Copies of this chain bind each other. A is one copy, B any other.
Amino acid sequence: MNRAQKELAEGILFTDQYQLTMAQLYYRMGFQDKLVQFDHFFREYPDYGTHKAGFCINAGMEWLIHWMQQVHFGKKEIEYLSSQKNLMGQQLFQNDFLDWLYKNGSFEDLNIYAIPEGRVVHPNEPLTVVQGPLAMAQILETSLLNHLNYQILIATKAARMHEIGRGQVLLEFGLRRGHSFGANAGARAALIGGADSTSNVGVSAVLGTSPKGTHAHSMVQFFIALGMSELDAFRAYAEVYPDDCLLLVDTINTLESGVPNAIRVFEELRRKGHQPMGIRLDSGDLAYLSIQAANMLDKAGFENVSIVLSNNLDELVIWQILTQIEEEAPRYGVDSDKLIRRLVYGVGTRLITSWGEPALGGVYKLVAVYDENQWKPAIKISESLDKTPNPGNKKIWRIYDKRGKATADLICLNDEDPQTKSKLCLRHPTDHTKYRMLEDKDISKIEPLLELVWEKGKIPHPLPNLEEMRHRRIKDIEVLDSGVRRLMNPHIYHVSLSQKLWNLKQELIEKSQPGIENNSNK
| Residue from the list B17, B177, B243 in contact with A201, Cβ < 8 A | B17
Closest to A274 in B: B88
Give min CB distance, A236 to chain B, whole Å: 6
Determine the distance from Cα of A222 to Cα of B141 in the docked complex, in whole angstroms: 15
User: Is A104 interfacial (CB-CB < 8 Å)?
Assistant: no
Give every chain B residue within 8 A of A151 (Cβ-Cβ).
180
Task: Report the 3 A-B pairs with minimum CB-CB distance, sorted nearest first.
Answer: A182-B182, A179-B182, A17-B213
Determine the distance from Cα of A17 to Cα of B352 in the docked complex, in whole angstroms: 17
Provide the A412-432 mask, 1 if CB < 8 A to any CB of B, else 0: 000000000000000000000
Within 8 A of B (CB), among A156-192: 173, 175-186
User: Is A75 interfacial (CB-CB < 8 Å)?
Assistant: no
Give every chain B residue within 8 A of A216 (Cβ-Cβ).
18-19, 22, 138, 141
User: Is A490 interfacial (CB-CB < 8 Å)?
Assistant: no
Q: Is the CB of B215 within 8 A of A21?
A: yes
Give every chain B residue within 8 A of A358 (Cβ-Cβ).
179, 353-355, 358
Give every chain B residue within 8 A of A225 (Cβ-Cβ).
366, 368-369, 371, 376-378
User: Is A504 interfacial (CB-CB < 8 Å)?
Assistant: no
Residue in A90, A184, A368 whose Cβ sees the most chain B Cβ within 10 Å: A184
| Residue from the list B15, B36, B215, B240 in contact with A222, Cβ < 8 A | B36
Give min CB distance, A133 to chain B, whole Å: 12
Give every chain B residue within 8 A of A180 (Cβ-Cβ).
63, 146-147, 150-151, 179, 181-182, 184-186
Binding site for B on A (CB under 8 A): 1-3, 5, 8-11, 13-22, 24-25, 28-29, 31, 34, 36, 38, 49, 63, 66, 70, 80, 84-88, 90, 92, 134, 138, 141-142, 145-147, 149-151, 173, 175-186, 199-206, 210-219, 221-222, 224-226, 229-232, 236-237, 239-241, 243-244, 251-253, 256-257, 260-261, 277, 283-284, 349, 352-355, 358-361, 365-366, 368-369, 371, 376-383, 512, 515-516, 518-521
Closest to A86 in B: B244
Q: Is the CB of B142 within 8 A of A176?
A: yes
| Residue from the list B213, B236, B354, B512 in contact with A224, Cβ < 8 A | B512
| Residue from the list B240, B277, B520 in contact with A261, Cβ < 8 A | B520
Q: List 23 A-B contacts (CB under 8 A).
A: A3-B70, A8-B202, A10-B181, A14-B202, A15-B200, A15-B201, A16-B201, A17-B200, A17-B212, A19-B216, A87-B244, A87-B277, A142-B175, A179-B353, A182-B182, A182-B183, A218-B366, A221-B378, A224-B519, A225-B376, A225-B377, A229-B521, A261-B516
Determine the distance from Cα of A228 to Cα of B210 in the docked complex, in whole angstroms: 57
Known pairs A16-B199, A25-B219 / 14 extra A-B pairs, C-beta < 8 Å = A2-B70, A8-B206, A13-B205, A14-B175, A22-B218, A86-B244, A92-B244, A134-B222, A146-B178, A151-B180, A178-B182, A182-B183, A221-B378, A252-B516
Given A2-B66, A358-B358, A21-B243 contact (CB < 8 Å): no
Q: Is the CB of B213 within 8 A of A16?
A: yes
Q: Is the CB of A202 within 8 A of B244?
A: no
Q: Is the CB of B176 within 8 A of A179?
A: no
Give min CB distance, A220 to chain B, whole Å: 8
Q: Is the CB of B251 within 8 A of A28?
A: no
Q: Is the CB of A24 within 8 A of B175?
A: no
Q: Is the CB of B222 within 8 A of A31?
A: yes
| Residue from the list B86, B211, B240, B257 in contact with A243, Cβ < 8 A | B86
Determine the distance from Cα of A244 to Cα of B88 in the docked complex, in whole angstroms: 9
| Residue from the list B150, B205, B277, B284 in contact with A8, Cβ < 8 A | B205
Give every chain B residue within 8 A of A236 (Cβ-Cβ).
25, 28-29
Given A1-B66, A25-B240, A175-B16 contact (CB < 8 Å): yes
Give every chain B residue within 8 A of A377 (Cβ-Cβ).
225
Determine the distance from Cα of A304 to Cα of B105 in the docked complex, in whole angstroms: 37
| Residue from the list B178, B202, B256 in contact with A150, Cβ < 8 A | B178
Give min CB distance, A342 to chain B, whole Å: 16
Give every chain B residue within 8 A of A368 (Cβ-Cβ).
225
Give every chain B residue within 8 A of A20 (Cβ-Cβ).
201, 213
Q: Is the CB of B1 within 8 A of A63?
A: yes
Determine the distance from Cα of A206 to Cα of B365 in the docked complex, in whole angstroms: 29
Give min CB distance, A120 to chain B, whole Å: 22
Give min CB distance, A509 to chain B, whole Å: 11
Give every chain B residue within 8 A of A3 (Cβ-Cβ).
70
Determine the distance from Cα of A151 to Cα of B149 in the docked complex, in whole angstroms: 21
Give every chain B residue within 8 A of A232 (Cβ-Cβ).
521
Determine the distance from Cα of A147 to Cα of B211 in the docked complex, in whole angstroms: 21
| Residue from the list B70, B176, B222, B520 in contact with A229, Cβ < 8 A | B520
Residue in A9, A204, A521 whose Cβ sees the most chain B Cβ within 10 Å: A9
Give every chain B residue within 8 A of A231 (Cβ-Cβ).
519-521
Give min CB distance, A49 to chain B, whole Å: 8
